[in-house]
Amino acid sequence: MPTSSVLAIVAHPDDESFGLGAVLDTLVSGGAEGGVLCYTRGEASTLHGVEGDLTELRVGELTAAAEKLGLTHVRLCEYPDGDLASIDRTELAAVAVEQARAQRADLVLVLDESGITGHPDHRAATAAGLAAADELGLPVLAWTLSPPIADALNAEFPAGFIGTEGDEVWQVSREHQVEAAKAHASQALPTSVLWRRLKLMGDEEHVRWLRRAAR
């Protein structure tokens, strides 16, 4: 579908790059304006790969990663990392509605409802994105992992990936996603499962529609 402005709604800094990066890049490269709303600063959900104040560090990483992906709207909130599900969904959705209106978004992009690894923060962010999209009448596209990729990763890592059948398979470039991922230096460690996942996925992304555009 033609998209002029896409808003990615995520829980943690790096979700927009590690997870949604190639899909965002495809949409932005196709002419869409791109933005990201991140609910937490990721102080708890971190690998502690480098020293320093993680709150400030991850703000800088998100800003740099967004630039690599060509995103022009970046909003980072301070909701509790690791406990996002405790925040009233109506409150989270209101923030998403405000951001979507500010950038005139006509598409919401989220992680799959599974949370990809079942992470409750991911699920809470996606649920808020869905609620906001319902209020605004916007379609919602979800990034997911195919069951074969999830199975292959789970055989190698104790990550608990959840595979979901997608509605569409997109051919993508990984170049900008990899550059954005590297901007998250505190998370993109050489041993991270991220690199293995990207290798297994190749130039394909599986996406599914959680809400379709009104006809």
Residue-number span of the structural domain to which 49 is assigned: 5-207
Determine the pLDDT at residue 192.
87
In a domain, 82, yes or no: yes
In a domain, 214, yes or no: no
In a domain, 55, yes or no: yes
In a domain, 212, yes or no: no
Q: What is the CATH number of the domain that holds 203?
A: 3.40.50.10320
Tens-binned pLDDT, residue by residue, of the chain (215 aa): 579 999 999 999 999 999 999 999 999 999 999 999 999 988 655 555 555 566 678 888 999 999 999 999 999 999 998 999 999 999 999 999 999 999 999 999 999 999 999 999 999 999 999 999 999 999 999 999 999 999 999 999 998 999 999 999 999 999 999 999 999 988 888 888 999 999 999 999 999 999 998 75
For the chain, the DSSP string reads: ---SEEEEEESSTTIIIIITHHHHHHHHHTT-EEEEEES---SSS----S-S-HHHHHHHHHHHHHHHTT--EEEE--PPTT-GGGS-HHHHHHHHHHHHHHTT-SEEEEE-TTHHHH-HHHHHHHHHHHHHHHHHT--EEEEE--HHHHHHHHHHSS--------SEEEE---HHHHHHHHH-TTT--TT-HHHHHHHHHTTEEEEEEEEPPP-
In a domain, 213, yes or no: no
In a domain, 128, yes or no: yes
In a domain, 215, yes or no: no
Total domains present in the chain:
1
